[in-house]
Amino acid sequence: MSILFLYVFLFSIIAGFASGSEDMSGGTVVLIYILAVVLGVITSYAWAFLSYRNYGYEVSEDAFHSEQGVIRKKYISIPYERIQNIDIHRGILGRLLGLSDLDIQTAGGSRGGFSSEGRLPGLDKDVAIKLRDQLIKLAKSAKSGV
């Protein structure tokens, strides 16, 4: 979200300079707009690549661990005893691309009921189903004391 804001801000500045200058021809203004779009695409791709490289999860013996973030790192550990529900969400774009989001909900973990404590976006459909089943099995085992 912050990258989108930065891109819109930079695009507005470039557009303001381009339209405010009386010395520039129409071709120069178009070239500046094209350059701004190319810069935005390159920046978006670089951010997506860095986000992908800095995102990971691990299913250990006692807890689910997740790490994410490029500039500000976030590390999450969810003990299996706290897992209440695991949902798989697939929006229209996710269905077209074959991707799913896995949401791990815990007791008291959501803020106002609108978010889950553990979220894994962009998983393959089959991977999401297998991971959900594995986490449910581990959560049941942990709660029963096995």
Predicted local distance difference test score (pLDDT) of residue 33: 75
- Between 3 and 9, name the one with better pLDDT: 9
Strand, coil or helix: 123: strand
3-state secondary structure 66-122: EEECCCCCEEEEEEHHHEEEEEEECCHHHHHHCEEEEEEEECCCCCCCCCCCEEEEE
Structure tokens at 62: 């006692």
Residue 114: band (very low, low, confident or very high) from pLDDT cuts 50, 70, 90:
low
- State the pLDDT confidence band at 58, using cuts at 50, 70 and 90: very high
Tens of pLDDT, residue by residue over 91-101, are: 999 999 999 99
Whether the full predicted model's pTM is greater than 0.85, yes or no, is: no
Q: The tokens 């085992």 sit on which residue? A: 141
**For residue 119, which phi and psi values (nearest 5 degrees)?**
-135, 130
pLDDT reading at 27 higher than 90? no
Distance CA 67, CA 135 (A): 17
Distance CA 122, CA 66 (A): 14
Output the pLDDT for position 22.
58
pLDDT of residue 117: 80
